Structures are given as structure tokens and as C-alpha cells.
Structure 1
Amino acid sequence: MGIQCVDDVLNKAFFRLGFYVGRHPGYFIIVPVLLTLFFITGYQQIHHNIDPEYLFSPVNGEGKLERKIAEDLFKVNYTSRFNVARITRAGRFGRVIVTSKDGNKNMLRKEVWKELRLLDDLIQNATVLYEDEYFTYQDICAKWNNECFKNDILNLDYIIDE
């Protein structure tokens, strides 16, 4: 009996609302369209910032001060003596994140490592056309003594069986 009472009240309320909408449809069509157009103008001016450093660290935090000191003392040189340990910013370089396609979370398997070597060869043999000029991996890679920096982790394939 208590549920029937709630049902009757809701039926009457929605009947009145529907009746009012049926009598005055212009308010329920024109007003939402005008409000939408008005609010879209503000949405166009939103500036999205997805930089994690800006979003999660204080402007004058200790970490930024320490990073500035490290950058002043240990410069990162991508053209001749690149060292991964000296990277203090995300920078403009690519990373590849790989997961196994068979669902096995163990990536330390010989067959997976063979495919990683194949992927590494594909990346290093890639050529890109940019503004009528061709670039190869060797042209744009981070270098150590005029050679592209080697990924030492890929050398685990020599001992992966152990």
C-alpha cells in the first residue's frame, strides 16, 4: 500500500509536467538550445593542461629547485655524450611500452625478447618525411660518441635462458 501511494504521486506529477510541456513546447526547445549556445562560448576558451609536472607539483617546490641545480651542473647533451641518468625532464623523445600479446605477464621469455629485438630493428630502420626532407633514426637519435645510444636492456636476450 505504501508503494502504491508513491506511485500515484509520481504519476500525477509527471502527468502535470507532460501536460505543461505539451502546452508550452517553445520553452522546452528554445531555452535549452539558447543556453547550450551560450555555454559553448565559454567551453571554447578552456585551456587544457595535461603536463603532470604542472598539475602535481608546487610552483616553487623543492624538487624544482633541486632539478635546476642538477641541470646547471650536469647538462644533458643529446648530440654527443648522451646519458640516460642525466635526464630530468620528459623531453622530446619517444618511448615504447610493450605488453605481451598472449596475456602472459612474464615478459622475460626468449620468444618475447626475439619480438622486442625485431621491434627495435623496425624502429631503428624507420624513415620519416618531414617538410620535404627525409630523416632516419640515426639522424635524430640521442648519441654517445657519434653513435646512437644503445638500449642495454635489450642485451638481456643473451642471458634470458638463464
Structure 2
Amino acid sequence: MLLRQVLRRGLQSFCHRLGLCVSRHPVFFLTVPAVLTITFGLSALNHFQPEGDLERLVAPSHSLAKIERSLAGSLFPLDQSKSQLYSDLHTPGRYGRVILLSPPGDNILLHAEGILQTHRAVLEMKV
């Protein structure tokens, strides 16, 4: 019982003195915590870098897709030309891919007849 009273009085006097100090210097106790929070928050945010490669986040590190993509990146670098598209590297099979580009500002769907003719020509090809 005596220890509780001593602790209560000591805590009460400490809080009273702290309140008096805060009331005598309100600008210091309002600005310093805000400035410290902003400073430490900005310095912590500078250490984080956003991950631009989604594949790195979701695919296992030694997956077949990552191995094939790194092989395709070494064989067909994408930074050679920004105006041309390069096909991805695929596993062997009987399929192909055609990339159709329309002139800038033009609608690719307006060239539907030409696309269908290309499709027919591809279907009629002999291996």
C-alpha cells in the first residue's frame, strides 16, 4: 500500500512538472516532433525503391519462364530500337506470330480486309 502511494505521488509530480514545461514552451513541443517525424519519414522513404519488374515478384527465381526470358533477352535485346517490336522466344512447336502495326494515328481495324487476306495466306502456306 505504501509503495503504491509513493509511486502515485512521484508519477503525479512528474506529470505536473512535465505539463508545466509543455505549457511554458508550446512552440517547441509542437514543431520539434512534427519536424522530426517528417525528417525521419522522408529519410526512410528514400531507402525504398519500387519494383518495376512484376515477374521478379511473382515467378520463382529458377523457373523455366525466367530462364527462357533471360535467354530471349540475350538473343533479342529490346533496347536496339524503340520503333520495332521483337517477338518473344518460344519453345519449339508448330505455331507462329504475326505483329501488325498501323501507321501513327490510324485505326488498325480499318485494315480488316488486308488482315483477313494475310490470315488466309498464312493458312494456305505449306511447310
Q: TM-score w.r.t. structure 2 length?
A: 0.39
- Of Structure 1 and Structure 2, which has the larger fraction of its residues in helix? 2
TM superposition score normalised by structure 1: 0.32
Larger RCO, structures 1/2 (Cα 8 Å, 6+ apart): 1
Structure with the bigger percentage of strand: 1
Structure index of larger Rg: 2
